[in-house]
Structure 1
Amino acid sequence: MIELGYTPPWWALVAGGALLIILIAWSYATSVGRPRGFTKWTLVLLRFTAIALAFLCWLNPQWVEREERQPPSQVAILLDTSRSMSIQDADPEGRLAEAREWLQQHLLPAVPHHVQILPYFFDVTLHPITNNLSITPQVFDSLSPTGTATAIASSLESLNTISPNGGPPTAVILCSDGIETESGDLMALARWHRRKGIPIHTVCVGTTNDMRDIIIENVQIRRPVGSNAPARIIATISSPGFTGFQVPIQIRFLQRVLAQQTIFLSGGRQQIEFEFRPPFRQYQVYNIHIPPEAGEWLPTNNRRAFGLEATDLTLRVLYMEGTPMQNNAPQPEWRYLKTALESDPQIKVKVLYRTRFRGFQGGFIPEADIEPGEEVYPVEHLTKGYPRTLEELQNFDVIIHSDIPKDMFSTEQLANTVHWVEELGGGFVMIGGKSAFGTGGYHRTPLDRLIPVAMESSNDTLNQAFRMSLPNHAWKHPLIAIGTNPEETTAIWTTRLPLLYGLNRVNRPKPGATVLAVHPFERNADGPLVVLAVQEIGKGRTMAFTSDITRSWGKDFETLWGELTQPQAFWDEYNCDQRYYRRFWINAVRWLAANRLTRTNSPVTLDLPQTLIRPGDFLEPVIHVRDAAGRPASSAEVRITLSAPGAADRIEQATFDPALQAFRARFSMPVAGDFTLRAEAILHSTKLGEDKQLIVCEESNKEMLDVRARPETMAAVARISGGRSLDTHNHQFAQLRSLFGSPPPPQVEIRRQPMWDKAWLMMAIIGLLATEWILRRLRGLA
């Protein structure tokens, strides 16, 4: 159709037309020669038509075309992929799987043909899933809940700028658990959407129930340890929702379970301490693991990795025996205890004997220990006897002193022994006899500081048969627990326990000592006579056994504490397996050496306050460095190396802290990942040793502190924006289809094309005027 760009009023058109006719008439009336008849009206028509066409051009005629199009409605789907969407509360596959299933099976089939879906996922920021305008239900399959935060407000805000048409969508469907961790006014954005007529329909997934989860928060290692020797692990565990549950906790290497212990969960934060034996030498990465419980929300945090270096740390015992071989004994007295201890492959025993009972006249005559092929030397041997320096004492973890006269030791040897226990964590036990405790005069020596009983009498021996008795508090001590269960332990220490035939009558236990066994009826002014007592002394441990383990007072103790090998035969040394005697002394030695077991053969020990840290936080390792004498090596150069696969090593120097008597370093962790931290010490250009630990650096996640869903937040967003609040149980087709609204009004596009500048129109005007002029010339009128 044709429209005029300028339309004057009707009266102007009439006036203009009349004026045009008058002017044409006047022009012909006053012209030279007056045309008549047909010629006159032809000339008038030609001139009128030309002027009319020129006037039409002045009115700006336009060719107008009108086209209508039906635009699609653009509806944005925002799907939360933060870590909280992995919680397995309402759906065993997790919240994201629940939302994805609802979208694929119920919402997308209800989309009308006029609606274009814009799929997005968000965590910290908003991202389009695909740029393809034609989507399928499988478009959500590749998403996983790995985001470190949830930014609902900023995602809604950025939606208005990244949509394909450059403007906001007609509606938004928000699928989330409602946990907002970032700054942003979510309700203000909901009000903005209402003003723009963009409803936000919310779909909340997850439950508001109290959290049910088992979390291994941190792992500490009392380390390093020997290969196949016990390592002490301290795990910090939280267990909301599982109060009173009994669960196994495992140590794994790859898929192999190395140790397992059953624990009771408190429902809050608790520390679990237990031991396992690493089967491999050198540095290895292990996992502490609790199998997921039914109904647990986030099973991925039931596992925590830690590094452990296992070295060849054999427990070494120096055993000094003062009782000579008896005529009626089949073997030397020291061999009973040595054989019992070495039944544990991780214990090696060196034996020293008392010379004056062996016909010693001059020089040293070694006695062959035929079975292992070792040699036994006198206590006072210049090179093979009792260590004369602190450095030599460092080769042992436990010293057993059984009836050795004090004059066989120099003052320096006794002082070194005290230092070795108090400062270097050694274990010391004194066993009774005619040369022990007060009778042996040890209350007047430096060893009096170590022994857990007061021994002021110089004549304290008592020859009397008795069966020692255990106080009630003793049953819980690890040294006593030699049965497989409490019932067996009770039987071992009561009905199975043989008689003892004497003891040293010490005065009383010292303050801080723990009495584990007493005489059943003999007492003094301080109470029952002490038979067995233990004590923590400085960094070490000590024990007093006031009876004997040899054929004087302990003839049955060393030979008959066990089970019959032939039940029908007579009970004697040859028909008893001595199993409880072995268990007791292995238990005792391991308890005494516990503070040595936490050390390594290397003089460098790396201690970490935590093995789990966040990027950017500061780590403050403490490095203990000892010289050959076991003293802090303050002049050493200590270097810390932080390494990770595919990254350059980071090296830091540690400085000596006089207050701690150890080296300290402080540095921030760069990025998330698993790192190996190695401490290396060099003294006088000689490497003293090194130690390693595993550091796990993870982003902290504020939303994981409380992972309960927020349906009230999601409902408020829907209400304020003019949308509807839904959940994944809304399956009705008509209800879901109504979310997309009616089709928008059609878009009308009008195209205008000017006509006055057309060549044909100009040629027509010129042609009419030229024809009129030619006709006038031919008629002699011009």
Structure 2
Amino acid sequence: MHSNVIPFMYAALTELTTEPIVGTTTVVIAVAIALLVLVLLLPPPKSLTRGRYWSLTALRIAVILLLLIAMLRPTWQHTHQTPRRGVAIIMADGSRSMLLPSGTSSTSRYDAQLAALQASSDALARLMQTTDLKFYQYDKTLQQIEVDTAGRVKLAAAPTGSETDLGTTLSQAIRTEQGKRVAAVFLLGDGVQTAFDPQVESQEAARQLRDDFAAPLYAVTIGPVGDAATSKDVAVQRLDEQFTVFVKTELVVKSLLRMRGYVGRDIPVRLTLFDAQNRQQVIGEKMVRQPAEGSQVEVEFSYVPQVAGNYRLQVSMPTQPGELVTSNNMLDAYLTVREGGLRVLYLDGDKRFEQKFLRRALNSSPDIELDDRIIDRRARSRWPIELPQDFQDGKYDAIILGDIDASALGEKNLATIATMVEQGKGLLMIGGRSSFGPGHYLGTPLADVLPIKIDRLEGADFGGQERDQFFIAGPIEARPAADHPVVRISPSSDMAAAWEPLPPLAWANRFVGVKPIPGVRVLLETARGEPLLVSGEYGRGRVLAFAGESTYRWQMHGFEQQHKRFWRQVILWLVRRDDLARDEVWVRLDQRRLAPGGKLRIEAGARTAAGDPIPDAKLDVVLVRPDGKRQPITLSSDRKLQSGQVQLVESGPYAVEVAASQNGKPLGNSRAELLVVDRDVELSIAAADPAAMDALAAWTRDAGGRSLALEELPAMLDELSQRPQEVEERIEREQLGGSPSTAWPMLLLLVSLMGSEWFLRKKWGLV
């Protein structure tokens, strides 16, 4: 729509425009002039006096002018301008690395930071007049700091942060300003990232600042720049605190090394194993080479433990020529080697709910190691599949077959499974559209292994309702048919009462019968007596055939413990575990490596072999200190476990020992070791990292971001406060006739004028 601006202003920020109904303003005015000419040139009636003629003409001209105004649609546009306050973010380093020398004098980096902020107080006060100031202190977390109206920052007297996380804290600081204009971000610190596993990488946080806010980042590096001559150092920077593995299972130990000042030099790295008597054994040694200055190198060791127990691992590098800091040359971790770990292979044809929840239930047992594999039905051209070498070597204790057709495994693999069971391994087949008879297992080596009968029609190529005859429609209530370890899902002796509240199964395979041979038993059945779970033996091995495939419903409806217990007992029975009645005492530490003064959380408890907690177990917990003194610890108790917290001040090796009893009868003992390391990662890196700070500022270069010297901070803050404020404009438009408040008066005026003209003409005899 065409718009014309009439060249006069009602106020500095008010203008009058027109929006003609048709054409342009010129066209509307021309139409009005034409109407005026017609009115003026129209000859008056002879009976009218001159005065009456001009009265009618005046009314007609008024109507034309009113129509002209209505056709032009005058519009008043009011522009309200208000200053828009931006947000300036200042982040000051509060980690312990700021206790190191600043490099320009004997003062610490933290004192240099405080002095720079004090010198900037006037500039901060001026900046706060036009900009909202957010001041934070950061280490691994972010803490907002108060700034008074005089620009004085109320920082702590000394830094205490044990780690530095640049990316996560920067991301948190800018995330709270979504929807606002960020004028600038000032990042003060030495630029050394010491947090091992940040939630947000520093480069990602800088990219967020650029993309989401288009704001500059000013990086202010505090501290000396290291070089190969002044800051030679090798350090074991990262090593997991805890490893758990079964006997005779390969353990992979990965560690991250950092080197400075030894480019091109081969440096030995050693992995040492310490047993409970502190006897040591070197189990791995490698040479690593620093590819570039300040680079990090990952080293990997492998080890196969032969004896169960608790051990300590240590990754270490010897002291290098010219190295000043040696406390970071080694790092310890703890290794728990479990005895009797069970290996289970689970093969299924689809990622079903049953597969997901069964896998989760078995993985919750520390003595069961589950390997699972989905065999894609869409890749039938590649059937039969190749199974892992560990399967070929017979290293699995039990095999679970889910909804998988016999042709996917092939005659060779099925024969191998049959041989494994005959030699003492366990086999479980779970219900499915491609299990048992419908899965074409009749005539395969597993047909003789399974404890159920298979009809030849089950594998026929039926469709629709004819195929449904081989399945039981749900809901199906599973009822125990025999007293057996597998179906004891509750400590109660009343198994029927324990199974009654469980949600029914969605459907199940229909077994045409069970084999009438010794050792075959029906363990679960439907309300109509149809078998659901059948046990049997083949050679020296045990076999279970389970017609259901929806026990996940139990866990989804609040019966998680029953679900876990059922599947754990299935596996334990299959592999002939003779220690089903053995109770377990356990202790869990939230950390295995702490700094002096750190707080250790301890959780402990006792449970049955089925995984049920023993709520009335009495626990005696003792903390063994580095000097050998034993300190009793009191834990608070709930139904499943006992927990507590203790502060560890001295450095050195500690141990937590737990002895459990029930009604005066010993249940067992457990022990967990940990190490308090007097190694401050913040103080182990002497040099600042201006390159990292420069890289962050470079992300916002287009918005003006750059690196600053500490002395430039006051001037930069002053410059920011003197920049013209952005103005937020709010435009209001009011059109004549565009609202009832103006449209009705115009209409009434038009009707009045036309009515008056008609009334006069009638009165004077012209109508």
Report the TM range for the smaller structure's normalisation.
0.3 to 0.5
- Structure of higher RCO (CA pairs closer than 8 Å, 6+ residues apart): 1
Length-normalised TM-score, structure 1: 0.37
Higher CA-based Rg: 1
Length-normalised TM-score, structure 2: 0.37
